[in-house]
A = this chain, B = another copy of it.
């Protein structure tokens, strides 16, 4: 459905529960927060489902937005969630029951009854911004949630998915206050000593191919425990790896469980990241995608990653 139809759909209904994806990032959380507040502003009941995977970076922004235990939703809405496979296990009960999905992933599987998709949007937050505009609601709190969604998904306007529209929306959001300063400080201008040490660990683990243009690095659970770091501390490592001079294809493997490794692939458009990750059962965008490999050790995860990269490189 179009954004206009989506706004009308929301306007006609009430009693919403909003779902986010597993290992929630700023886009999915900010979209959920903004949509909840926008629907509230229209006098409707709407809550965000508590995602157990939320990291410290975003936890404070979600205070007061979570559905109470006894809330019985009428309509389930998923934001920035491309497939039901990306539901956190806590949301398993909602599989097959999503009434509306608002998303910007080209890999969206149309699992919801209605889908509002714009694969050209830098962030799902851009779509939610336009829906808020169509609904005629905006305030400083909604603007803050939208800024979190948009700015985090485009790397604070540095990634190639940024567009003129992204900047235009940011300019509009800025008119609602200085909230973005604290978001920028928190999301883009804060390096924990743990992160710095994780970066160094990742760098040491990197194996370079193609004259340094392809890099595969890995962070194990042991690395995390050595540095007293959490999965949250390691989230930005994949973007970081892609910044190393000369690296065009950056593959960061993070161990999630004993024999489970998560690949985050950044290719800056040099290689189709979605295709590589699809070969490993994952998905995402052309320049940034991911996949989770089960029943593999680190060496096998590295081999599978390299093989998938080679296969897509061979396609030309």
Binding site for B on A (CB under 8 A): 155-160, 162-165, 167-168, 170-172, 174-175, 180-181, 184-185, 188-193, 196, 199-200, 203, 240, 242-245, 268
Contacts and interface: CB of A to CB of B under 8 A. Distances in A.
| A158, A188, A196 interface centre (most CB from chain B within 10 Å) | A158
B243 A190 contact: yes
Count chain B CB atoms within 10 A of each CB in A157, A163, A170, A192 and give the residue with the most: A157
A158 B164 CA distance: 17
Nearest to A182: B160
Given A160-B184, A189-B242, 19 more contacts: A156-B158, A157-B157, A158-B184, A158-B188, A160-B181, A162-B180, A162-B184, A163-B174, A164-B170, A164-B175, A167-B167, A167-B170, A189-B268, A190-B243, A190-B244, A190-B245, A191-B245, A196-B200, A196-B203
Contacts of A167: 167-168, 170-171, 174
A204 to B, nearest CB: 11
A170 B157 contact: yes
A301 to B, nearest CB: 24
Nearest to A160: B181
A168 B174 CA distance: 10
Nearest to A172: B164
